[in-house]
Structure 1
Amino acid sequence: MNQTPAYDYDVLIIGAGSAGLAALRAVRRHTQRFALIDAGPGGTTCARVGCMPSKLLLEAAHAFHRRHQFEAFGLRGSEQLSADIPAVLQRVRAERDRFVAGVLQTTADLGPRAITGRARILDPHTVEVDGQRRLTARSLIIATGSKPHVPDEWQALGNRVLTTDTLFEQTDLPARIAVLGLGPLGTEMAQALAHLGLDVTAFHSDDHLAGLADPKVNAALIQSMASSMQLQLGQMPELRAFDGHAITVGAGAFSTQVDAVLAATGRRPAIEGLGLENLGLALNERGLPEVDPHTLQLGGLSVFWAGDVNPDRALLHEATDEGEIAANNALSEEPRAFARRTPLAITFTEPSVAAIGMPYDPHWSDEVAIGGVDFADQGRARAGLRNQGVLRLYARADGGELLGAQLCAPAGEHLAHLLAWAIARRSSVAELLEMPFYHPVIEEGLRTALRDLQAHVHAPRATPGPHYCEQSSLDCLD
């Protein structure tokens, strides 16, 4: 890249979240003429308020909820167990702080190139920090992340309305709570709170939870969620009364009283005051510019967009990839298009939920074959009293190339990775059935689903089994 002394820096990175830090790592491999601007608080969304604290809470909740199965295992005394909510939350914060400290160490050695302050873009090459200091750069990377969305009506509840930014800071939790929104994170938190023994009522304006589209997988998730909480689906929840003590929440003819509300109605790009209007690009109704999904470039500018500020792929591994893509293109004379990884999204409920590859489409023609398995009678799942949920697979009917999957199943996070890898390698159903499956394992359920799918693929091979090898025994192991 040609140096341009007229600019203070080659690259300015706005935001020190997962995408910004990934961009930082990539930029540092090529130039030291960069700066990272972040307004704080320190730590990524994932480490501070997202992936990690939510999973810490879920682990405690799932462990405590297992007590309901002790009698079936022949284990007595489960009624003596209790959840010390303040202790649970204290561990969440302690471990969370450990993860955050690791993230902060990433920028500890940047010195003056780590700038604390609020950035505002003045033009495609100029950024103002806290309304005082002006910095110029050949390229900008916008990685400002996202923030929780709380509908205006619910803001009247003050500190009685929680978000994932405030939930983990609580020293205790009330006995009754309403969860508004059952996207992936809302679904996780609703189940975690219910499994810890809170009285949870969860509302969702849609009939599909956790971003699922497949009706059979969605039905399995609803059945699982309904076993530990009250669900109100398909109608917008509304705040009906608040007297300082009880909060009345309703949907349609249903109404209930709670002590607090968790607003899990999604996150919005953190772009307020960023000055996107000064880039000279058209902005949509949400105030966002059009982004090239393969180059992450904004218009024809040397400005790039990465991470959760892009609401379509708000996942850590996607944010990391986007930081790398944005950095590579910010340092190039001409932006290049990058192929994206196989889509993979996991919701860590029990059973866990995942969507992999091509999403389910109710309007599919006979060009797509569908197969599946119900885990109710799967051997290893029954042995562990985890025998609930379904897995659905989608393949090209002509030839059997695996295209996608959705699941609500035991060990679903692991099954999802196997499926994502298979889709990335463009494996066919027949090829996957040639892989070894141990007994007894949950993955045998995947084999059952593959066999079912194979029956709907044009000209499928016979189910593979042991086959002859006429070469040397060593060659047969290859």
Structure 2
Amino acid sequence: MSFDYDLFVIGGGSGGVRAARISAGYGAKVALAEESRMGGTCVIRGCVPKKLMIFAASTPEMIDEAHGYGWPDAMAGAFSWPAFKASLDAELDRLEAAYTRGFENAGGTIYHQRARVVGPHEVELADGSRISAKHILVAVGGRPQRPGIEGDELGMISDDLFLMEKLPRRVLVVGGGFIACEFATILNGLGVETVLAYRGDKLLRGFDRDGRELVTGQMRGIGVDLRLNLSPVRLERDADMLRISYDDGSEDRYDAVMFATGRRPNTAGLGLEEAGVALGPAGEVVVDEWSQTNIPSIYAVGDVTDRVNLTPVAIREGHSFADTIFGDTPRYLDHSLVASAVYTRPHELASIGMTEDEAIARGGVEVYDTRFRPMRSAFAGSEMRVMMKLLVDIDTRRVLGCQIFGPEAGEMIQLAAIPITMGATKEDFDRTVAVHPTIAEELVTMRQPARRHDRPA
């Protein structure tokens, strides 16, 4: 049977573009449809602009630290959102162009419109035209979801933060996950009076217990008005403000409300169910380890599968798909060990592998744990403490997990992830000579376990 393309990719984000570009490099005839901007969530409305905003929001802390290092007259002045946004928009335009150029230079074709699946080997574009392909790859990512309360359409979602023409004077962030925590610290650092409301008693559910406590305390320490065990039930306009009602009967008013209450796979209206593709309870595309759906010609990678929702994971899944289908090198991604970081400020929380709660449930694990004030911030008068934790299998001595709370923790976890993924033991860490004076040297100088979790009887 003859097809228009060997591969048709729906979605121009990191995972879809990587799969498309690598497949084209193997000689496949590839097309891609993207209804918004090339680069997807991470590049346009996620990781990249968020990290640049973190850098901007950290400037006042750098100035405060400079005072402790002999620069008593250092000052930041007033932050200009319009000036920053102009630079940010220019950078995102550059990255979008690079994504587009990279794929087109590899020989790919881009359709700048929405596409939906209409059969095992066929997609339909928004203009009504139909295209056939031997393989179809769904890589449409996820989308923010609102909490489903009355008036929630009046609030922003994370996408909207990058489109604001001006900063609000007072803002409410609703949620307790990494998106809520990062954006609360960003807005706070840019001078916005920031309130964060979360239904739980500690932020970052699912992360390590000590890391959660440290991030929760840090949030209060930098001046975020943290309101735990509290959920909004109604949002309404009140003159030029927004009035929100909480489940404890209280009310408050804000210039803006941002919902960071989770994301869902972006499968609505893609025609997948009609084409016979199995979806999970949250709308995620159900795939096997090869990213293949129950329809053999249709695959999916990235957040739309709701496996591990991180950009590098989507990229690796997309690359593995291309290697397998067009590169004659079958491979798939092992999702069991994936490092991640929460870019709060001034200290980040980073993790790979097991948390201590998981160690307690599993048993047979030693916990090596250290807390200290790092040299740089301690000299400047800061009371902030770093936490580092290694979780080690009692029998094999293999390092099963690493948790870091501290400055540039994301950079450290990337390097720690290499030996841990390779199966390094605690003794391998111990044999490594420290680089002094650094924060990271503590990872190789912890000698005695702080706790031990025995296997269940």
Provide TM-score, normalisation by structure 2: 0.89
**Match for 1:246: what amino acid?**
M
Report how far residue 175 of structure 1 moved.
Answer: 0.7
From 27, 30, 38, the equivalent of 2:26 is: 30
Q: Identify the residue that residue 237 of structure 1 maps to in structure 2.
A: 232
Q: Identify the residue that residue 303 of structure 2 maps to in structure 1.
A: 308
Cα 1:287–1:214 change in 2 (3 A) is closer
Report how far residue 451 of structure 1 moved.
Answer: 2.0
Q: Identify the residue that residue 260 of structure 1 maps to in structure 2.
A: 256
- 1:441 paired to 2:441: no
Report how far residue 259 of structure 1 moved.
Answer: 0.5
From 384, 388, 396, the equivalent of 2:385 is: 388
Cα 1:401–1:96 change in 2 (3 A) is same
Report how far residue 441 of structure 1 moved.
Answer: 0.9
Report how far residue 51 of structure 1 moved.
Answer: 1.1
From 228, 242, 246, the equivalent of 2:241 is: 246
Q: Identify the residue that residue 178 of structure 1 maps to in structure 2.
A: 172
Is the 8 Å Cα contact of residues 90 and 171 (structure 1) preserved in structure 2? no
- 1:196 paired to 2:190: yes
What is the number of equivalent residue pairs in this alignment?
449
Report how far residue 407 of structure 1 moved.
Answer: 2.4
Name the CA distance, whole Å, in 1 between partners of 2:251 and 2:258. 17
- 1:221 paired to 2:218: no
Is the 8 Å Cα contact of residues 27 and 328 (structure 1) preserved in structure 2? yes
**Match for 1:56: what amino acid?**
L
**Match for 2:61: what amino acid?**
H
Q: Identify the residue that residue 207 of structure 1 maps to in structure 2.
A: 201
**Match for 1:182: what amino acid?**
G
Report how far residue 101 of structure 1 moved.
Answer: 2.5
Report matched runs for 1:211-360 at 5 Å.
Answer: 211-227=205-221, 228-253=223-248, 254-292=250-288, 294-299=289-294, 301-331=296-326, 337-340=332-335, 342-349=337-344, 350-360=346-356
Report how far residue 300 of structure 1 moved.
Answer: 5.1
Report matched runs for 1:403-422 at 5 Å.
Answer: 403-422=400-419
Cα 1:240–1:123 change in 2 (3 A) is closer
- 1:115 paired to 2:111: yes
Name the CA distance, whole Å, in 2 between partners of 1:395 and 1:279. 47
Q: Identify the residue that residue 472 of structure 1 maps to in structure 2.
A: none
Residues 243-263 of structure 1, C-alpha deviations (whole Å, 9 max, x = no match): 232222344435432110122
Is the 8 Å Cα contact of residues 93 and 169 (structure 1) preserved in structure 2? no
Q: Identify the residue that residue 39 of structure 1 maps to in structure 2.
A: 35
Unaligned segments of structure 2, at least 5 residues: none
Name the CA distance, whole Å, in 1 between partners of 2:151 and 2:96. 28
Name the CA distance, whole Å, in 2 between partners of 1:84 and 1:103. 29
Name the CA distance, whole Å, in 2 between partners of 1:80 and 1:22. 40
Report how far residue 15 of structure 1 moved.
Answer: 1.1
Cα 1:193–1:129 change in 2 (3 A) is same
Q: Identify the residue that residue 149 of structure 1 maps to in structure 2.
A: 145
Comparing 149-158 and 252-261, the one that deviates more: 149-158
Cα 1:285–1:342 change in 2 (3 A) is closer
Report matched runs for 1:89-104 at 5 Å.
Answer: 89-104=85-100
Structure 2 counterpart SS, 1:444: helix
From 82, 90, 94, the equivalent of 2:78 is: 82
Report how far residue 306 of structure 1 moved.
Answer: 0.6
Cα 1:332–1:278 change in 2 (3 A) is farther
Q: Identify the residue that residue 471 of structure 1 maps to in structure 2.
A: none
Larger Rg over CA atoms? 1
Residues 198-238 of structure 1, C-alpha deviations (whole Å, 9 max, x = no match): 10001222334345432211111111111221112233223
Cα 1:451–1:239 change in 2 (3 A) is farther
**Match for 1:324: what amino acid?**
H
Q: Identify the residue that residue 16 of structure 1 maps to in structure 2.
A: 12
**Match for 2:350: what amino acid?**
A
Cα 1:32–1:147 change in 2 (3 A) is same
Name the CA distance, whole Å, in 1 between partners of 2:247 and 2:379. 42
Report how far residue 264 of structure 1 moved.
Answer: 1.6
**Match for 1:238: what amino acid?**
V
**Match for 1:309: what amino acid?**
V
Name the CA distance, whole Å, in 1 between partners of 2:322 and 2:4. 17
Report how far residue 422 of structure 1 moved.
Answer: 1.7
Provide TM-score, normalisation by structure 1: 0.86
From 133, 138, 143, the equivalent of 1:137 is: 133
Name the CA distance, whole Å, in 2 between partners of 1:289 and 1:366. 34
Q: Identify the residue that residue 427 of structure 1 maps to in structure 2.
A: 424
Unaligned segments of structure 1, at least 5 residues: 459-478
Structure 1 counterpart SS, 2:349: strand
Report how far residue 446 of structure 1 moved.
Answer: 2.2
Report how far residue 98 of structure 1 moved.
Answer: 2.5
Is the 8 Å Cα contact of residues 375 and 381 (structure 1) preserved in structure 2? no
Name the CA distance, whole Å, in 1 between partners of 2:407 and 2:2. 58
Q: Identify the residue that residue 463 of structure 1 maps to in structure 2.
A: none
**CA-atom RMSD in angstroms:** 2.7
Q: Identify the residue that residue 461 of structure 1 maps to in structure 2.
A: none
Report how far residue 333 of structure 1 moved.
Answer: 9.3
From 48, 54, 60, the equivalent of 1:58 is: 54
Name the CA distance, whole Å, in 1 between partners of 2:66 and 2:246. 36
Name the CA distance, whole Å, in 2 between partners of 1:24 and 1:155. 40
**Match for 2:228: what amino acid?**
L
